[in-house]
A and B are shown apart, each in its own frame.
Chain A
Amino acid sequence: MKKETKEKTGSLVSRRNFLKAGGGVAFAVAAYALLPKLDLVEGAPPGEGNLVEQKVFAWVHIRTDGRITIYNPAAEMGQGSMTALPVILAEEMDADWANVKIEQSPIEPDTYGRPGFRGGASMLTVGSRAVSGYFDGLRIAGAQVRQMLLANAAKKWNVPVSRLTTGPSVVIDKSKGRKISYGEIAGFMEIPDSAPKVSKHQLKDPKDFRLIGNADIPRFDIPAKINGSAKYSIDVTLPNMVYGVISRAPVNGSKPRLLNEKMIRGRDGVVDVVTLGHGIGVIAESIETALKTKERLVIDWSEGAKAESHNSESAPAEYAKIAGNPGLRGRDIANMGDATKALQSAQSKYTADYINDHIYHAQMEPLNAVVSVGSDGKSAEVWAGSQAHDGARSAVARTLGIEFSQVKYHPQYLGGGFGRRSTSDYIVEATELAKAAKRPLKLLWTREDDISYGMFRPMSLQRMEAGVDSKGNVAGWKHTIVGTGSRLLASGARNEFYDFPNQKIELRSVDHGIRTKHWRAVGHGANKFAIEAFVDEIAAGQKVDPYEFRLRLMKNHPRARAVLKKAAEMSDWGAKPKSGRAKGIAFGERSGSLCAGVFEISLEDGRIKVHRVWVALDAGIVVQPDNVIAQTEGCILMGLSSVLHESITIRNGRVLESNFDDYQLLRMKDVPDSVDVEIISSSERPTGVGEAALPIVGGAVANAFAALTGKRIRHMPFTRERISDVLGKTA
């Protein structure tokens, strides 16, 4: 293979390896693709200069019988990208979807990656970026495959390509009334030395899409998910496999010393005991022996870890002091005009603190991985569910001191990710234990492990201050965030669609030494709660309807206004709800998508009951509309779960909750009667949908609560105790 040819610029020349299919009849098309700079499809004049040669990638496999395999590069964790990404390619390729099969692509970021955050190619599936990140590249790739098919048919018929068109998996010569299927072409197809160039005008006009936006294309993974056959890494069993469990530091940072190693090693069925930096691993012949032995470990944990000083129950009082200390300066997230002056000269001033607790990912499949290390330690095989399959593969290689290529990696379905599975810690642990065991090993985190050694969406306090001038405009806006987790707290703090001429948004970080992590929508959950609830408070103070008030703030943002208006219209905002109920509204943006929602609630038994929810979403072009609705429903329900129930308590660095009996998630009885979702039709590029609706939930529920009771609830989750506190206080 001529790998050297033209690495830097211009067209790609190397003849890529053919994907050989078993049996020899099948023929593979190796599709070359140039990942375009995003501006290629965005509208810059397409020219050679706009094509950045990234990598060659082989996305498609056409068999002579017409069956087509398209490779999906993203992790599938329930968000549906494994179907959506192939749909994009199939659209431009003009494939007959009925004959398309989807397979997971190999974990080769150089071939299947998209431009990563820090340059380079990445297969990270995070931040709702799969569809938006791959959209242009996959369209180009699909169009290139189509061009190659057209060129081969033209050659066969000896006619100019310009006379030919395509329909679902066929090339058509209208002038002669003849057709040839893609499968037939695959039988004689020649692959050119360089990938055909595709310019913007050769891509389909979105109005001609028949697959993108087609609500009748089902998710590819559903059949395996209704009969128990879908495989997650936890389901993998290998011959001669042993089981690993780990007793991890009860306080992050403390170090273990095993006091009864001899007794442990002497137990029936125990294969090995491994001391790791953060815990003691037990390897045993069966999962029951591993679990029972773990209970018997007597470990002396070192003292003095930083996290010992953290108490989540008293932290808000500390945070409030930090927020109010004029001598402190944090990191500016935004600083425009002069917020301090605008507040001083305002006619009316508002201030309020909002708080959110630590919360846990609670992906239903606890962390686990299966790893087998070669007897010479120079190779490994991995079965894992990860949002960073490429990162995990590298991490295994690093752990063993071997090359990336020496690690064979089998990506599995993820039983939920939500941000937890973009770190490879559990896969590294499995590698360490498998290396010690010298046998294939399945590492299992119990639910208790998954919670007590969890990485949480960090708690924070948001001090909001606003000044309104005599014309009723919000002249000054200050938002001070205090908490642990640093940049995790910053996302969603900016007001992209509300115009505040003078604003200062500042992050004052505290380091508690605890484990924190991205959690679906990251900081948006806390920040949008504070912003949306506070905007409502200002509107109430100004005696303006909160919907009208937001429309005014958004006056320069027609897309945002349209989303908000849609939600208001769907919910019949102006109509009075039946007695005992009230509605609240909120707006938010995440991963480029805009979302607004109205929630109707009542109080039952001292708790908030959500009855109906209306959501409008603008996510640009939507590839799989029904799945976008499903993701939005999922966001609303996961959001409600976090807003109404979820809280991790940390005392002296220890997590008090241990399982789903004391860490409550939303259950069927709490589910609203209806969640109506409407997608705003759009021809803009797609934006992320996996998290888009989640940030609105806290604000909308809090605002409905205020409409119902006249009281503001400002600390998530809105538990029975906090509700009764708020209602009792100034009754």
Chain B
Amino acid sequence: MPELFVAKVSELPDGERRIVAHDGLEIGVFCWQGAFYAYQNLCVHQGGPACEGIIMHKVEDVLGPDRTWHGQKFSDEEVHFVCPWHGYEYDLKTGECAADRRLRLKSFDVVRRGEDIYVIA
């Protein structure tokens, strides 16, 4: 399995991503809160570039103890990246499709060697 160079650690700050390609395979590598995550850049919907869109926290309803609705907020924990073609959202930490967790992007291991980040394709 080839090891693909992604970037120097300094070149991939928090909230950024790189797309690396090898032999027709595209992989999106994200840095989020100091950790790296890598997924195939191929949306389960219509095959769009799933890893190339914006990163947004999950939207959550705010409910009261009496089950009344008090508005919405962005999650403190869960963050998604969004396929730019039609908006499918993926859990950044698992690659699962947020709307249906039975669907997920193929994930890849990321290794750090000194200052260099590699993804194992």
- Asked if chains A and B come from one complex, the reply is no
